[in-house]
Amino acid sequence: MKIIKVRTKPAYEIEIRGGLLTDLAQDLKDRGYGDRYFLITDSNVRQLMAEDLLEMLREAGLPVEILSFPAGEASKNMATVVELARKMVQAGADRRSAIVAFGGGVTGDIAGFLASIYMRGIAYIQIPTTLLAQVDSSVGGKTGVDLPEGKNLLGTFYQPRRVYIDYAVLGLLPLREIRQGLAEVVKYGMIKSQRLFKYLERHSGEIMQLEPEPLEHIIAESCRIKAWVVSKDEKEAGLRRILNFGHTLGHAFEAASAWRLPHGEAVAVGMVAAAKISEKRGLISPEITHRLENLLTSLGLPVRLALELPVSEVLTYLRSDKKARSQWPVFVLVRDIGETVFDPEVPEAMVKEVAEELGCR
């Protein structure tokens, strides 16, 4: 078992343990986050395991209701939030009720956002069930939804009370979804840890086989890095932007694909783009980009776009990036593996050239 502390205000813990869901009910009873619990999940996770969890919690005497929405990024919008909120009001949820976000990053972002605005804020806990959510989205309190104009454009910073990571649930997760999470793990290596990057280079085979030891290692290392960054800069005044490495173009690719391109794959290609821009800005040699591309490829992640996205649309989405100043993003670049640089002056022509090299038309 590993416990990692996130030193935000208030602070909270991430508990990482294979099989922890079996004694979750007792832990929730002991900690008492709410008088009633609302288990929020998506349609897939509901069928696969949320009904079982519901039964387990009810058997232990906890008052719990379950609410779900159709699985997928296309549900990450205000309509879903409003629908869930109305169901909570109708079920009598009040300020002492607590939300349990049980699912992937889409569920965590929606449920966390709802918790932050429901009756001006109620408690929530995160129980992430995808690798991506376990290494990234359940930690740090970024919550929110998409707009047709772009990714995560509505949202809040609102920390969960606790994060419970049971990597045993990843046994049910399709390989393509495992890969989405690995993209974010590669990101942590690129921004903060040569050691993690090298570990991934050496152990990609065992990780893809979901061997518990390397799996627990990469989850814990990712959470440690994220907890450290978020503890220093909870609301993204500066340092936290490093967590957006690969996301500037990644988010634009996702939006331009009308959410057909999954987050991790978009970030994988976005990281290659950021490395190529870093090269063109004279920060790194092509060797670093090649190492990144080789690692992504060995993990089964794309290094070029599989969909033809119009470059003009991609550039339009970039202008509404949350890191933009005067409608142009501050790019997160690298000067080595593990070392980032912010660059507000990347020329548009350079971004266009790189986007085209990666498959935009």
Ligand X SMILES: O=C(O)C(=O)C[C@@H](O)[C@H](O)[C@H](O)COP(=O)(O)O
Binding part of the chain for ligand NAD, among 26-34, 128-136, 196-204, 227-235 by CB under 6 A, reads 128-136
The rounded distance, in Å, linking the Cα atoms of 169 and 324 is: 37
Minimum CB distance to ligand X, residue 137 (Å): 6
DSSP for residue 119: G
236 noted as active-site residue: yes
Of residues 106 and 358, the one with the C-beta less far from ligand NAD? 106
Find out whether 91 and 56 touch, Cβ atoms under 8 Å: no
Residue 76 interacts with ligand NAD (CB under 6 A): yes or no: yes
Length of the chain: 361
Of residues 40 and 135, the one with the C-beta less far from ligand X? 135
Amino acid at 182: L
Choice among 120, 213, 287, 345 that is catalytic: 120
Residue 270 interacts with ligand NAD (CB under 6 A): yes or no: no
The rounded distance, in Å, linking the Cα atoms of 182 and 187 is: 8
Binds 42: which of ligand NAD, ligand X, none (CB < 5-8 Å by kind): ligand NAD
Binds 358: which of ligand NAD, ligand X, none (CB < 5-8 Å by kind): none
The rounded distance, in Å, linking the Cα atoms of 347 and 288 is: 22
Residue 177 interacts with ligand NAD (CB under 6 A): yes or no: yes
The rounded distance, in Å, linking the Cα atoms of 188 and 131 is: 14
184 noted as active-site residue: yes
- Compute the chain's Rg from CA coordinates: 20
Binds 129: which of ligand NAD, ligand X, none (CB < 5-8 Å by kind): ligand NAD
The rounded distance, in Å, linking the Cα atoms of 158 and 293 is: 34
219-238 mask for ligand X (x: CB under 6 A)?
-----------------x--
Binds 45: which of ligand NAD, ligand X, none (CB < 5-8 Å by kind): ligand NAD
Minimum CB distance to ligand NAD, residue 278 (Å): 22
Was 343 annotated as part of a binding site? Answer: no
Was 263 annotated as part of a binding site? Answer: yes
- Out of 14, 33, 97, 104, the only residue in the binding site for ligand NAD (CB under 6 A) is 104
Residue with tokens 């004279």: 282
Question: Which three-class secondary structure state does DSSP give residue 229?
Answer: helix
Count Cα atoms within 13 angstroms, Cβ side, for 223.
Answer: 28
142 noted as active-site residue: yes
- Out of 129, 204, 257, 278, the only residue in the binding site for ligand NAD (CB under 6 A) is 129
Of residues 126 and 244, the one with the C-beta less far from ligand X? 244
Residue 321 interacts with ligand NAD (CB under 6 A): yes or no: no
| Binding residues for ligand X restricted to 146-205, rule: CB under 6 A | 151-152, 184
Q: Cis peptide before 10, with omega less than 30 degrees from 0?
A: yes
Contacts 24+ apart (CB under 8 A), 138-141: 138/14, 138/101, 138/105, 138/108, 138/163, 138/165, 139/6, 139/14, 139/163, 139/223, 139/226, 139/227, 139/230, 140/6, 140/226, 140/227, 140/229, 140/230, 140/234, 140/243, 141/8, 141/112, 141/230, 141/234
Was 107 annotated as part of a binding site? Answer: yes
Residue 262 interacts with ligand X (CB under 6 A): yes or no: no
Known catalytic residues are: 120, 142, 184, 226, 236, 240, 244, 247, 251, 263
Going by the annotation, the residues of the binding site for NAD(+) are 105-109, 129-130, 142, 151
Known binding site for Zn(2+): residues? 184, 247, 263
